[in-house]
Amino acid sequence: MITKYSAKISGTGKYTPDKIVNNYDLEKMVNTTDEWIRTRTGMFERHFVADDQAASDLAYEAALQALEAANIRAKDLGMIIVATISNDHAFPSTACILQKKLGVKDFPAFDLSAGCTGWIYAANIAKQYIENGVAEHILIIGVEILSQLINWEDRGTCVLFGDGAGATVISRAEPKDISRFIDTEISADGTHYDLLIQPAGGSRMPASKESIEKNLHTIYMEGNKIFKHAVRSMYDVCETVLKRNHMDVRSIDWLITHQANLRIIESLGKKLKIDDEKVIVNIEKYANTSSATIPIALDESIRSGKIRHGDVILAASFGAGLTSGSLLFRL
Ligand code: ACO
pTM reported for the whole predicted model = 0.96
301 plus 243 within the same structural domain: yes
Q: How many CA atoms lie within 13 A of 287 on its CB side?
A: 25
pLDDT band with cut points at 50, 70 and 90 for residue 4? confident
With a 6 Å cutoff on the Cβ, whether 263 touches ligand 1 is no
pLDDT at 199 over 70: yes
Domain assignment present for 147: yes
CA-based R_g, the chain, Å = 19
147 plus 209 within the same structural domain: no
Distance in angstroms (rounded) separating the CA atoms of residues 248 and 75: 39
185 plus 145 within the same structural domain: no
Domain assignment present for 299: yes
Q: How many CA atoms lie within 13 A of 139 on its CB side?
A: 41
pLDDT at 106 over 60: yes
pLDDT in tens, 182-195: 999 999 999 999 99
Domains in the chain, number: 2
Distance in angstroms (rounded) separating the CA atoms of residues 253 and 71: 25
Closest C-alpha residue for ligand 1 atom 3: 32
168 plus 199 within the same structural domain: no
Which atom of ligand 1 lies closest to the CA of 85? 51
With a 6 Å cutoff on the Cβ, whether 83 touches ligand 1 is no
- Nearest CA to 166 among 14, 16, 285? 14
| DSSP-derived secondary structure for 116-178 | GGHHHHHHHHHHHHHHTTS-SEEEEEEEEEGGGS--TT-HHHHTSB-EEEEEEEEEEEPTT-S
Q: Is the peptide bond before 146 cis (omega within 30 degrees of 0)?
A: no
With a 6 Å cutoff on the Cβ, whether 255 touches ligand 1 is no
pLDDT at 34 over 90: yes
pLDDT in tens, 44-79: 999 999 999 999 999 999 999 999 999 999 999 999
Domain boundaries, position 224: 180-330
CB 175 within 8 A of CB 327: no
pLDDT at 1 over 90: no
194 plus 252 within the same structural domain: yes
Q: ∠304-308-312 over CA atoms, to 5°?
A: 130
pLDDT at 2 over 70: no
In angstroms, what is the span from residue 44 Cα to ligand 1's centroid? 15
164 plus 219 within the same structural domain: no
169 plus 25 within the same structural domain: yes
With a 6 Å cutoff on the Cβ, whether 323 touches ligand 1 is no
pLDDT in tens, 201-246: 999 999 999 999 999 999 999 999 999 899 999 999 999 999 999 9
Which atom of ligand 1 lies closest to the CA of 115? 50
With a 6 Å cutoff on the Cβ, whether 162 touches ligand 1 is no
Q: What is the CATH number of the domain that holds 275?
A: 3.40.47.10
Closest C-alpha residue for ligand 1 atom 20: 156
- Nearest CA to 265 among 231, 299, 241? 231
pLDDT at 40: 96
* The last residue of a domain, from among 142, 173, 204: 173
152 plus 278 within the same structural domain: no
End-to-end CA distance of the chain: 24
CB 301 within 8 A of CB 315: no
240 plus 130 within the same structural domain: no
Q: Mean of the pLDDT values across residues 109-115?
A: 98
Phi, psi of 72 (to 5 degrees): -130, 165
Most ligand 1 atoms within 8 A of CB, residue of 84, 218, 227 to mutate = 227
Distance in angstroms (rounded) separating the CA atoms of residues 249 and 236: 13
Q: ∠165-170-171 over CA atoms, to 5°?
A: 150
Domain assignment present for 250: yes
Domain assignment present for 52: yes
* The last residue of a domain, from among 173, 188, 208: 173
The verdict on whether 158 is a catalytic residue reads: no
**Active-site residue, from 116, 158, 238, 261:** 116
- Rounded to the nearest integer, the mean pLDDT of the chain is 97
93 plus 237 within the same structural domain: no
Q: Mean of the pLDDT values across residues 131-157?
A: 96
* The last residue of a domain, from among 173, 194, 216: 173
In angstroms, what is the span from residue 328 Cα to ligand 1's centroid? 30
Domain assignment present for 210: yes
The verdict on whether 151 is a catalytic residue reads: no
Domain assignment present for 111: yes
The verdict on whether 116 is a catalytic residue reads: yes
135 plus 256 within the same structural domain: no
pLDDT band with cut points at 50, 70 and 90 for residue 285? very high
Task: Give the residues across from 316 on adjacent strands.
Answer: 257, 326
